[in-house]
Every structure is written in structure tokens, then in C-alpha cells.
Amino acid sequence: MLEAATDPKVESVLAAHPRQRTRLIPVLQEVQTALGYLPGWAILRVAQHLRMSQAEVYGAATFFSQFRLTPRGEKLVRVCRGTACHVRGGAGIRKAVEEHLGVASGESTPDMKFTYETIACIGACGLAPVMAIEGTTYGEMTAARAREVLQSARADGG
């Protein structure tokens, strides 16, 4: 069985919230902000504080896409898989990114420089196909340009 660890950042979050089940989502959000993700020991600690089962807290953490159970890389790379991007070659962009980074969607590079995700829509359909790195959107992508942008992002300290 996993043991709950203590961490000053997590304990500070918990101390700011009453021990009420209704506080689950805000507590998880704040713990994730403090740690960068939700490790198993933190889920257990939240469960203890809110007087919930570990399974209930884990269920919420895995239900909502905003929560991560693994650490995120320094830079988040997102590739759109929406209709406009798909029609204009988005699958090729995704393949180029996966090959360049050596990871699948939802994974981080071994050096933790990048985390790669696909998303339903970036919201820039007129620029399709689209890729974003840390909020900067790159439109009218090609596989070659995706590799260039990733190489540049790595060179810029990421």
C-alpha cells in the first residue's frame, strides 16, 4: 500500500481548505499547481485530508483532463486533431512530432524537455494544420516545418 508522504507545499494547500468533500477539485488543482502533477502519495494525502477514499480522489483526478498523474516536460507541445487540421494533413504533423520527439501523445521525452499532447481543437481552424508550443500557435504546418519548430524550441532552452 502506498504511504502518504508529507510535503510543505501540499500541507500548505490542505491547511487552506476545510476538510469537506466539496473542496476536492480546488484542492487537486492547487496541489497540481504546487507540484506540477498529482503523484500517488499526494492523492492519498488529499484523500486523508478530505476524509475520502483514495479511489474517489483518484477517480476525480483521472476523470478530468486538466489533471496529470505524471510530471510534465518543460514545454508542452500540442497538435490539433480537429476536422480542419485533419483535412489539411494534421495526421502527418502528428506523425512528424511523434517521430521527432520519440514519444506518443500523452508522453514526455526522457529528458523532460517536452510533453506531447493532441487536442480536439486549438481554435485556429483558418491556419490549419496547427501546432502550439507553450501557447504560441504555429499555423499552416508541414512535417518539415514541425520538425524545424521543435528543433528551434529545443535550442531556445526547452
The pTM of the whole model exceeds 0.85: no
Residues 93 and 36 in one domain: no
Residue 104: give its domain's CATH number.
3.40.30.10
In a domain, 135, yes or no: yes
In a domain, 132, yes or no: yes
Distances (CA, A) of 102 to 51, 74, 109, 114, 147: 41, 16, 7, 10, 12
Residues 150 and 79 in one domain: yes
Split into its structural domains, the chain has a count of: 2
Residue 2 is predicted with a pLDDT of 55
Residue-wise pLDDT tens digits, 66-102: 899 989 899 999 999 999 999 999 999 999 999 999 9
Residue 3 is predicted with a pLDDT of 58
Distances (CA, A) of 83 to 91, 93, 120, 121, 133: 11, 14, 9, 8, 20
In a domain, 68, yes or no: no
Residue-wise pLDDT tens digits, 116-144: 999 999 999 999 999 999 989 999 999 99
Q: Could you list the residue range(s) of the whole structural domain that residue 84 is in?
A: 75-155
